[in-house]
Each structure stands twice: as structure tokens, then as C-alpha cells.
């Protein structure tokens, strides 16, 4: 099975698609944000007059907002500008617009901001040096607390033969799209219109309406092509400022982040600290305890899903008869936590997998055999009582073990091979709707998502329609429309496009076929096909041109239409296991097993990834090229999180590396050849049994690299990233004994 050529490829190699940063209007002005110069403190004064003294500059601050929105009351917990207090570094305190960018930047520089500094809280462990006790759940530093259990962990640990207890720490990482956030806003009477680079036009509409206190119907959002999202463009960021400036200036305003601002204001994964205890008896896990301190920065209300959501990934896809998990979302003076690709899951899988490997080695058992013995199987339930549907991870693990064995043969000195697993749950989000329209010549899918790069919209949705109807893909086209006219969809994120929006497309196609069959007087199954230039309806051997089945109105109006919708599948959590807080209900299970060969320089700690293989449980492949590309891209991004990417906050609370030189992305020379194997046969909840593939590929990567490094030089690392310094220090610490793995057979 092959994929069609991407419909957007030709335009993109000619630079002919319009991204957010390309937006332009003839009379537009340029916006710039004024960012707090001090990481945390009380605002004493903000003087906009020096900026306004420049010709043609408009400047707005917190007290202008109510006037600009006609007295509407926005969400008090999410004011666009800092009010009273600056709570994170570079928090926006004002905004300006001017006829040129240079003038806007100069105006922003001239705004006088007086802040009485306060010491920043940046380290969750420093806040809770002895780890939070029960009373901490009500501490003002704690944004959310979750706890769940089953059985008596202490009793089981007490009767275990071996208990392994350890602490892991992982760094914050950022999405770093190549295109910074950018939008163009215009206020036209009662209509607040914004064109923006976003993964979720309807999400932006909802956020803007909430933040500014407007009716959703008065906000119109049109998405541009997106130069990379990775979770960072799923919610509104710049649009409220651009709209306010456009309203003040009485003309369109373009607002984009500089690349430095993209780092400073990005909302992404922040540091984690995890403590685990695992008890083993007769070679099997009998009990586990996991405690998580999750830095959520300036936690935004309603976005506390992170804690309950991360916990499941920390246990891994493994059977645990008795357990207790507890998580604290801790507020610090950093920007708000936000979703990255597979939020927190790569870090959590690193913790879960490295711990499992360590437990296995501690009892002298091969880690891959230990994994296989405990791995979830279809029909079992998760620790939180959710039923596991068809699950391809056992097959993926077996394939990975075979590949690892092959790679271990003849391995040069200093090289190692390791396996890492990850599981994921496709997030169907708030759901979506789609329409299909069929005339005599093509089937058009009408929907409200832009293609953000993976092909899931332009190719994936079309593949669903093609497969359902029988049409060749050349006769299926995906259209995009903005929020004013398109059917609702919650966004391109969470690996949900094909699985959820695709279900809506599928339903629409089914309804269309059923209606055409009814009109043709056929009760048997029907398909669409192409006969010469025309589309025909086929039932067995009989065939009728579709145009003959359309009403006059449909013929004039562009074709027959049908609508479909999909709003998630239920998979209940067992509430009796939940003690406090809310947990994320996984809706669909997919898994992946990765294998890496690395070479490690013992003296410098440098790690080179020599080759990589990824085995993915995809259910059904609808777009093979697109799926392969997602695995390749996700693995590369995971290599960054594994080895080189780390957001570093200084003691003063500022981000110390807001730029590409010191926040190190993988480059062409550092990503190895990646073999991709897509395993079908364990259907998921998507159309034709498809499972999402956008996020799963990043999840196992840091775990896999850590396992391979351990295999190469015997070190057990409990921090991410696996920087040269950490690796070298760990190697040195093992000399001369060689460490716990030194005498195991290879």
C-alpha cells in the first residue's frame, strides 16, 4: 500500500504557502509585547507615555482591557496582562503597535516598568525538601493533588524479597517550532477576527472569548498553515493581545513572537521529580509506590490535568497487583505548564522503564524478559481499572527483542544496545464534526482543521473517506474553512485527527452512501467508483452515475451532503481506587517498542546514536508514508529530550538558554538512520481500527537511549537529559569496580 503524494508538497517546495509569520494586510501595523524585566515581583508602576511619545504609536496595559472590550468581564484568573504582580519571567505587562516593527520594538523598550522584586520559587524540591506530607495537599504552592491506590502497599513491600527505591529527575523541554507564534488581528465593528498559526482554531476562539469576556459568536478565527505546533500552538497565546491592539489602533495588527520570546513565553513540559518503590517476590512485581512532584509553573486554572494524567505513565504498561500513586502539581515562578508532544510521557517512560530495568538487574533477571512477563495484555485492566482493548505492545516487544539480539552480534567495544517501551492513549478531546459533499466528480470533506504538517488532515482524513466509499484518493479533497462556517472540531493534537475527526468523516461517508443507496432503491452494500470522468454508485454489478441521484438543488448547490460527528469513547476509571483528585481516562491503548544502538565515549561522556528501530502498534495503516514520517520525526524529537535538550532556569528565575545555540535541537548529523515497522492487527477505536501515531513515537525514546547507554558502559542514570557531563561523571563513579552490571553475561 502506498500513500498519495502530499497535496501540499509542490506548494511548500516553492515557498508558496502562507504561515502565520507571512500574514499581511495593506494597512496593518506591527505589534510588540512589553515583557516584565524582572522575573517576579510587585508592579509599582507602568508608564506608557514614553512609548506614546513616539509618532503613531499606540500602547495598552492592563487598565485598557475593560474599555477595549466594552466593559465585558474576562476570566479573572487569566488576565492578558500581569495585574498587580509579575509571577513569571518575561510575563507580558503591556503591548504596543506602530507602523513599523522597528518603531514598535523601540516603543516597547521605552515603556517604563517599575517592579519591586521578590525572590522566585523555581525548585520544587527546595519547596518540599522532605517531600510533601498529607497537609501539603492544601498548601498554596500546590495547584493540584491526586492520589489513588489498590491493596495494601506497605504490607506487600514488607513481605517482598527485594525492594528497589530510587528518585528520578527530568528536565523541562520546549516545543521549539521553527515558526514562532504569529497572528494578524482585526476588529470590524462587533466582530473580533484573527488569522493565526494554530493547531486549534476553535480552541483559540473559545480561549479568546473567555479571556476577553466576549461572546464566542463574535470571535472569528481562521487558521493559517502552521510551521510546527507540537502541542505549543493548541491554545491561545498571542491572539488576545493582537485583538486588543487592533481595537485600539483601529486597524489590523500583526503580532509575532521573536524567536527569543518564543523560548521565554513558551508553555511546555517543566521539571519532574519522581520517587518510586517496587517490591519483588519470586521474580514478580508485587507492589509499587510512585510519588510525583510536577512543576506546573504559573499553573493556569483548568489545566491541572497534568498530574493525574502523568501518573499512569509512571507505572508503565505493566501489571501491578498492589499500588499507590500520589502526585503534586507544584506552582513555581515559571511560565504556565503546557502540553508538549505526548506531554510528560517521554520523561515518565524514561522513569518507568529505567526503574524497571534497574529492578530486573537488581534481582539478576534479564530486563527484556522481565518486561515481557509483566506487560499488559488485551482483556486485562490497568491499575486504575480501565479495560485494555486490542494491544500490540507484546508483539512489538518481541519484534524489538529479535532486532536487539541481531544488533548485539558482533557489537564493537564501547557500543551498547537497549530497548525501551512506551504506551499512549489517543486523546479524542472534546470531539469533532465533519461534512462530506459529493458531486459528479469529486468528494469534498468540509472541516475546520488546518494541515499542521503530519498529513493527518490532508491525507489521513481523505484516506478514511476513500476507504469507506471506494473512491480513489485523487477524487477526494479536504477543504478548510474558518470557525465562522466550518463544523466544530477540538483541534489537531493528542494524536486524535484520524481517530476522532476521522470517525466523524467516516460516519458522514456512511450516511452519504446509505442515502444514495436509498435513492437508487438498493438495499445491498454500495460503493462509489470512477467510470471515465464520472463518479458512479455501484451495487454489485449495477452502476448509476451519481449526478442522476442528485436533486436539482444539490446539483446547483455543489452536491449531496452528509454530516458526521464523534465525541469520544468511554472507558471508565474505577472510582473506588481514587482517593483524591482526578485522573485521565485513557480511551484507546497503543504501544511502541524501540531499539537503539549507541556508542559512548567514556572519557567525554558523549553519546552517538548509531542506529534506531521503532516498532509501533498502529492498528490499521491508512497513510503509510505519513505514519512513517511521524515515527521518524517523533524519534528525532525524543533524541533531543534524551540527550541534548534542557530548559535551564537560573537561580534568579530567568530562563538561561532562550536560544538555539544553548537549547540544543537535534541536527541532520546527529539523527541516525531510523527503521520504522508498523504493526497492524490490534485494532483501535479509529476508523477501520486505526490508532493515532503523532505522539507515540516520542514516548519510548529517552528510555531506549538510557537502556542502550547502560548496556554500553554499565551506568544507571536517573536524570534527563543524558548529557555528556552526566554520563562521564557516572562512568567515572563506577571505576574501578565496573558497577552493578559489570559481571553480567553479554
Partner 1 sequence: MSGRSRSLTVNGRPCSLEEAPGDERLLDTLRWRLGLRGTKEGCRSGECGACTVLVDGEARLSCLTLSRELEGCSVTTVEEVGREPVGRAVQTAFAEEGALQCGYCTPGFVMALTGLLHERGSSASVEELLDDLGGNLCRCTGYVAIRRAVRRARELVP
Partner 2 sequence: MAPVELLAPATEAETIAVLRSHAAGTVAVIAGGTDLLGDLERGHARPELLVSLRHLPWRTHAWDADGLTVGATEPLRRLETDPKLVERLPALHQAIAAVGSPALRRQASLGGNLGRAAPASDLLPVLLALDAEVELVGPDGTRTMPVDRFVRTSRTTELGPAELVRSVRVPELRPASCYLWQRVRPANDISQIGVAVAWSARAHAWRVSLGGVPPRATLSAACAGALGAAAEPSPAAIEVAAAVLSVAPVLVSDRRATEEHRRRLAAALCARAVARAIGRPTGEVL
Cell 514516548 belongs to residue: 699
Cell 484568573 belongs to residue: 77
Interface residues for partner 1 in 340-369 (CB under 8 A)? none
Whichever of 162 and 604 has its CB closer to partner 2, that residue is 604
Binding mask 256-275 for partner 2 (x = CB under 8 A): ----x---------------
421, 485 contact by CB (below 8 A): no
652 touches partner 2 (CB under 8 A): no
599 touches partner 2 (CB under 8 A): yes
Binding mask 669-698 for partner 1 (x = CB under 8 A): x-x-xx------------------------
Q: Of 61-69, 534-542, 650-658, 695-703, which segment contacts partner 2 by CB under 8 A?
A: 650-658
15 touches partner 1 (CB under 8 A): yes
Whichever of 77 and 474 has its CB closer to partner 1, that residue is 474
Least distance between partner 1 and beta carbon 290 (Å): 31
21 touches partner 1 (CB under 8 A): yes
271, 170 contact by CB (below 8 A): yes
Least distance between partner 2 and beta carbon 535 (Å): 49
Whichever of 565 and 611 has its CB closer to partner 1, that residue is 611
Helices (H), 363-419: 367-374, 393-408
657 touches partner 1 (CB under 8 A): no
355, 291 contact by CB (below 8 A): no
Strands (E), 601-656: 607-619
Q: Spell out the SS3 assignment of 219-244.
A: EEEEECECCCCCCCCCCCCCHHHHHH
55 touches partner 1 (CB under 8 A): no
Residue 498: exposure state from Cβ atoms within 10 A (0-12, 13-18, ≥19): buried
341, 637 contact by CB (below 8 A): yes
Coil, helix or strand at residue 187: strand
Whichever of 78 and 260 has its CB closer to partner 2, that residue is 260
Whole-number Å distance between alpha carbons of 367 and 741 = 12
From the list partner 2, partner 1, none, partner contacted by residue 56 (C-beta under 5 to 8 A by kind): none
Per CB under 8 A, the list member of 53, 158, 369, 660 interacting with partner 2 is: 660
177 touches partner 1 (CB under 8 A): yes
106 touches partner 2 (CB under 8 A): yes
Least distance between partner 2 and beta carbon 133 (Å): 34
Whichever of 81 and 225 has its CB closer to partner 1, that residue is 225
Q: Of 244-252, 498-506, 540-548, 648-656, which segment contacts partner 2 by CB under 8 A?
A: 648-656
Q: Which string of DSSP letters, residue by residue, matches 444-483?
A: EEEES----SSSIIIIIIHHHHHHHH---GGGEEEEE--T
Residue 44: exposure state from Cβ atoms within 10 A (0-12, 13-18, ≥19): exposed
Whole-number Å distance between alpha carbons of 136 and 328 = 9
Please work out the total of residues on this chain that contact partner 2, with binding judged by CB under 8 A.
Answer: 41
Q: What's the longest Cα–Cα distance across the chain?
A: 86
669 touches partner 2 (CB under 8 A): yes
Q: What's the CA dihedral at 402, 408, 410, 416 to 10 degrees? A: 160
Whichever of 562 and 642 has its CB closer to partner 2, that residue is 642
Whole-number Å distance between alpha carbons of 146 and 122 = 22
422, 354 contact by CB (below 8 A): no
From the list partner 1, partner 2, none, partner contacted by residue 24 (C-beta under 5 to 8 A by kind): partner 1
Binding site for partner 2 (CB under 8 A): 54, 102-103, 105-106, 109, 260, 412-415, 599-606, 608, 643-644, 648, 650, 656-657, 660-662, 664, 666-670, 723-725, 728-729, 732
Site of interaction with partner 1 (CB under 8 A): 3, 5-6, 8-19, 21-22, 24, 176-179, 225-228, 230, 258-259, 452-455, 625, 629, 632-637, 659-661, 665-669, 671, 673-674
Amino acid at each position: 500500500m502506498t500513500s498519495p503524494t502530499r497535496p501540499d508538497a509542490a506548494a511548500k517546495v516553492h515557498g508558496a504557502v502562507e504561515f502565520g509569520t507571512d500574514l499581511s494586510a495593506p494597512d496593518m501595523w506591527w505589534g510588540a509585547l512589553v515583557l516584565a524585566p524582572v522575573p517576579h515581583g510587585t508592579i509599582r508602576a507602568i508608564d506608557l507615555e514614553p512609548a506614546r511619545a513616539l509618532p503613531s504609536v499606540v500602547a495598552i496595559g492592563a487598565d485598557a482591557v475593560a474599555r477595549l472590550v466594552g466593559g465585558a468581564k474576562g476570566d479573572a484568573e487569566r488576565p492578558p496582562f500581569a495585574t498587580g504582580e509579575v509571577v513569571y519571567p518575561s510575563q507580558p505587562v503591556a503591548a504596543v503597535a506602530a507602523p513599523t516593527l522597528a518603531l514598535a520594538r523601540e516603543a516597547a523598550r521605552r515603556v517604563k516598568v517599575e517592579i519591586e522584586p521578590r525572590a522566585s520559587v523555581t525548585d520544587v524540591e527546595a519547596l518540599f525538601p522532605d517531600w510533601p506530607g498529607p497537609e501539603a495537599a492544601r498548601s498554596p504552592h500546590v495547584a493540584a493533588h491526586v492520589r489513588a491506590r489498590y491493596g495494601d502497599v506497605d504490607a506487600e513491600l514488607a513481605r517482598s524479597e527485594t525492594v528497589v527505591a530510587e528518585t528520578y529527575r527530568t528536565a523541562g523541554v520546549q516545543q521549539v517550532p521553527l515558526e514562532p507564534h504569529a497572528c494578524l488581528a482585526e476588529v470590524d465593528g462587533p466582530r473580533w477576527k484573527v488569522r493565526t498559526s494554530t493547531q486549534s482554531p476553535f480552541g483559540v476562539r473559545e480561549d479568546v472569548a473567555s479571556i476577553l469576556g466576549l461572546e464566542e459568536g463574535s470571535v472569528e478565527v481562521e487558521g493559517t498553515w502552521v510551521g510546527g505546533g507540537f502541542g505549543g500552538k493548541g491554545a491561545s497565546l498571542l491572539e488576545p493581545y493582537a485583538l486588543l491592539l487592533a481595537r485600539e489602533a483601529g486597524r489590523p495588527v500583526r503580532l509575532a513572537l521573536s524567536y527569543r520570546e518564543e523560548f521565554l513565553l513558551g508553555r511546555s513540559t517543566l521539571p519532574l521529580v519522581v520517587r518510586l518503590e517496587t517490591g519483588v517476590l519470586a521474580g514478580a512485581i508485587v507492589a509499587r509506590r510512585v510519588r510525583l512532584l510536577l512543576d506546573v509553573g504559573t499553573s493556569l486554572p483548568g489545566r491541572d490535568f497534568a498530574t493525574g494524567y502523568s501518573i499512569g505513565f509512571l507505572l508503565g504498561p505493566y501489571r501491578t497487583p498492589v499500588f499507590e500513586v500520589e502526585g503534586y502539581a507544584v506552582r513555581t515562578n515559571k511560565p504556565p505548564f503546557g502540553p508538549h508532544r505526548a506531554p510528560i510521557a517521554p520523561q515518565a517512560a524514561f522513569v518507568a522503564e529505567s526503574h524497571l530495568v534497574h529492578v530486573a538487574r537488581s534481582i539478576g533477571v534479564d530486563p527484556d524478559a522481565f518486561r515481557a512477563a509483566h506487560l499488559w495484555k488485551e482483556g486485562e485492566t490497568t491499575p486504575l481499572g480501565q479495560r485494555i482493548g486490542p494491544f500490540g505492545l507484546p508483539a512489538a516487544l518481541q519484534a524489538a527483542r529479535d532486532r536487539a539480539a541481531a544488533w548485539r552480534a558482533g557489537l564493537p567495544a564501547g557500543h551498547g544496545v537497549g530497548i525501551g517501551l512506551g504506551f499512549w492513549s489517543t486523546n479524542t478531546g472534546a470531539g469533532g464534526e465533519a461534512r462530506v459533499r459529493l458531486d459528479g466528480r469529486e468528494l469534498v470533506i468540509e472541516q475546520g482543521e488546518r494541515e499542521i504538517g503530519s498529513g493527518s488532515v490532508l491525507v489521513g482524513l481523505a484516506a478514511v473517506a476513500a476507504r469507506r466509499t471506494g473512491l480513489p484518493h485523487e477524487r477526494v479533497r479536504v477543504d478548510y474553512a474558518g470557525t465562522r462556517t466550518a463544523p466544530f472540531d477540538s483541534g489537531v493534537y493528542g494524536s486524535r485527527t484520524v481517530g476522532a475527526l476521522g470517525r466523524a468523516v467516516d460516519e458522514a461517508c456512511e450516511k452519504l452512501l446509505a442515502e444514495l443507496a436509498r435513492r437508487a432503491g438498493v438495499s445491498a452494500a454500495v460503493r462509489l467508483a470512477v467510470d471515465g470522468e464520472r463518479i458512479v454508485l455501484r451495487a454489485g454489478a449495477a452502476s448509476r452515475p451519481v449526478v442522476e441521484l442528485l436533486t436539482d438543488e444539490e446539483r446547483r448547490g455543489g452536491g449531496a451532503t452528509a454530516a458526521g460527528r464523534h465525541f469520544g469513547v468511554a472507558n471508565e476509571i474505577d472510582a473506588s481506587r481514587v482517593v483524591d483528585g482526578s485522573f485521565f481516562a485513557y480511551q484507546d491503548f497503543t504501544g511502541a517498542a524501540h531499539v537503539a544502538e549507541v556508542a559512548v565515549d567514556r572519557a567525554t561522556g558523549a553519546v552517538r546514536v548509531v542506529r534506531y528501530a521503532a516498532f509501533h502498534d498502529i492498528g490499521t495503516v491508512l497513510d503509510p508514508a505519513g505514519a512513517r514520517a511521524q515515527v521518524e520525526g517523533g524519534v528525532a524529537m525524543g533524541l533531543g529530550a534524551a540527550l541534548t535538550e534542557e530548559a535551564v532556569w537560573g537561580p534568579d528565575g530567568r530562563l538561561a538558554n532562550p536560544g538555539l545555540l544553548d537549547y540544543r535541537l537535534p541536527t541532520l548529523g546527529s539523527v541516525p538512520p531510523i527503521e520504522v515497522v508498523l504493526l497492524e492487527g490490534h485494532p483501535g477505536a479509529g476508523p477501520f481500527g486505526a490508532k493515532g501515531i503523532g505522539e507515540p513515537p516520542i514516548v519510548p525514546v529517552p528510555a531506549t537511549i538510557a537502556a542502550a547507554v547502560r548496556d554500553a558502559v554499565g551506568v544507571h542514570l536517573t536524570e534527563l537529559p543524558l548529557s555528556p557531563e552526566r554520563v562521564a561523571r557516572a562512568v567515572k563513579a563506577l571505576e574501578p569496580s565496573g558497577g552493578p552490571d559489570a559481571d553480567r553475561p553479554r
